[in-house]
Structure 1
């Protein structure tokens, strides 16, 4: 992990401060950016999201899908946690904490939107940072690559129906046309573009050099998006700074619950620790770039949904590093050693 990535939480915090300050100093600029929309898609944000997502998708080799049978138990556990547990457990946690336990401390008009943001966040399994987490746990690289490729392929067809289903259960109106446009714009088209770019770079032997050069641009685009989001969210956050802490609670519970579940199920299934580690991390982390883009498209810059997905970005690195530490320190227990 680069120095820049290691301190991502610090940069996110500084972007929060910068966004709120700029939102107060130059509100007209943010209003003009927010108005730059075509078919409910904000063009400046769309460009930034593409700069985030495409470099990450270039790393994915979909040819690795042919190797999924090699670690079928770990693949099965991760798919179960990612698609049958995580979105539904987050919907339950959002309903419990945001809809009931914390309701009196949150803006009443944003309750449903906060829950929607949490659901969107949980419905998108992580794509890029998983490679960092897997490396830190000495994870099996073939498993990690094939699992991420498989998740991306499933996300193309499953993300929209799962989000729509869970938002429907929460009685939140779902603009299907906007959701379908988000999937096409932020999943399908970037996957096609990224794989075409990957093939061209591999043919010329320039893939690694390209990834090294664009990785900082990808993170800078994420931070620029956060400045925009908090420029619009500033008034709400200053009025109720407790909101970020309250939204973090269900996200934290979800991360540790799903990581622990995947880790334990892999142990029961007899998978090696080098597979169980990345399986737990893939099961716990989120594709927050996609979540942020989808929340903005569906509910707008100033929505509680957009803010909820940004809280996921804020806590991603420190929380996942604690999961990495737990996985590494428990290797003896996992492999049946004592003492």
Structure 2
């Protein structure tokens, strides 16, 4: 039986409410609404799309902050002091997140988008699609990991530790990895815009969230933080859905004109998710890590921080670019695919725990 006792200073994973449970349905409805909005009200959508400063769309930037900050308030960077307790799971997840996933996506993007599907895609957007897939894979998931971990009774302290560690690494590693892989893909890297995206969507939200978190805990304790999270948490999902409506409104004409693009872009994303989650799960079993750690490790190793990916793609290539569309497809694919990974992890627990190394370390 999984131990779900929470140490002092650590909050339990969030309960899965009706809204989160049917997130796939809401995502689908927002996609339909966005496409309809772009088709029926192109003038309004054009005005919103032009509200930019330094290639950063202001309405989308506000929505992305509303998505990111509530999630970052949950992250206790002090939990990184406990990473040694779960050294096998931490090591596997870091290896998959930073040494495998971005590079495997670059390869899958080149294989599927740059070669197999090239005849069926707009030729002037091929490089942009690949760039969007790379950006999507270069940012490990943070926000939704708490939901996935709760669904499979994952070890909460490991999940917190891994999320905190990934956020810290992203601050310094996201821009270099994206720049390296986009350079290898023969795409010009606008470094000033990329660095601006990192500062705007990682560094500043982390600082703001940690300042607010520290002050709340100092003045009102965990109860004060929990009350604030309960009030603002719905903003994160509402902002996500509103962002989807806008992004698909911006992309609506292209989607209607070429509906096969979405399906084709989803293929390498699907391969990437199952490849990396399976690899992380298997490596944890080989190393002898507990199942309640291996599950979140596989989920963290496969999913993406799509809020950051969408923001970076928009800032780098524009709202109506193929890169932005590729990251939006990542949002569409993320929820149902990760739910399937949760199902696989839960159903395979007996097989996992029969592993010789797992039995030795129990």
Query: TM-score w.r.t. structure 1 length?
Result: 0.97
State the Cα deviation string for residues 62-106 of structure 1 (Å, max 9, x = none): 000100111111100000000000000000000000001011111
Q: SS at 2:251's partner residue?
A: helix
Q: Which moved more, 1:312-321 or 1:85-94?
A: 312-321
Q: Match for 1:127 among 142, 158, 164?
A: 142
State the Cα deviation string for residues 184-218 of structure 1 (Å, max 9, x = none): 00000000000111112223231112112212111
Q: Match for 1:8 among 1, 5, 23?
A: 23
**C-alpha distance in 1, partners of 2:340/2:46?**
39
**C-alpha distance in 1, partners of 2:284/2:35?**
43
Contact 2:30 2:245 in 1 (8 A): yes
Q: SS at 1:127's partner residue?
A: coil
Aligned length: 338
Q: Match for 2:320 among 295, 302, 312?
A: 302
State the Cα deviation string for residues 276-296 of structure 1 (Å, max 9, x = none): 111001001111111111111
- Counting only pairs closer than 5 Å after superposition, residues 152-231 of structure 1 correspond to structure 2 as 152-202=167-217, 203-204=219-220, 205-231=223-249
Q: SS at 1:253's partner residue?
A: helix
Contact 2:286 2:355 in 1 (8 A): no
Q: SS at 2:142's partner residue?
A: coil
**C-alpha distance in 1, partners of 2:180/2:355?**
44
**C-alpha distance in 2, partners of 1:141/1:219?**
21
Q: Which moved more, 1:259-268 or 1:14-23?
A: 14-23
Q: SS at 1:128's partner residue?
A: coil
State the Cα deviation string for residues 205-259 of structure 1 (Å, max 9, x = none): 3111211221211111111111111111111101110111111111111001100
State the Cα deviation string for residues 42-64 of structure 1 (Å, max 9, x = none): 11111111001000000100000
CA offset at residue 337 of structure 1? 7.3
Q: Is 1:74–2:92 an aligned residue pair?
A: no
Q: Match for 1:91 among 81, 89, 106?
A: 106
Contact 1:57 1:191 in 2 (8 A): yes
Instruction: Report the equivalent of 2:64.
Output: 49
Which 5+ residue runs of structure 2 have no aligned equivalent?
Answer: 1-15, 357-362
CA offset at residue 25 of structure 1? 2.1
Instruction: Report the equivalent of 1:140.
Output: 155
Q: Match for 1:292 among 310, 317, 321?
A: 310
CA offset at residue 16 of structure 1? 1.6
Q: CA RMSD in A?
A: 1.2
**C-alpha distance in 1, partners of 2:101/2:131?**
14
Instruction: Report the equivalent of 2:253.
Output: 235
CA offset at residue 142 of structure 1? 1.0
Query: TM-score w.r.t. structure 2 length?
Result: 0.91
State the Cα deviation string for residues 280-318 of structure 1 (Å, max 9, x = none): 010011111111111111111101111111111112111
State the Cα deviation string for residues 18-57 of structure 1 (Å, max 9, x = none): 1121112221222111211111211111111100100000
State the Cα deviation string for residues 147-190 of structure 1 (Å, max 9, x = none): 11000000000000000100011111110000000000000000
**C-alpha distance in 2, partners of 1:307/1:13?**
15
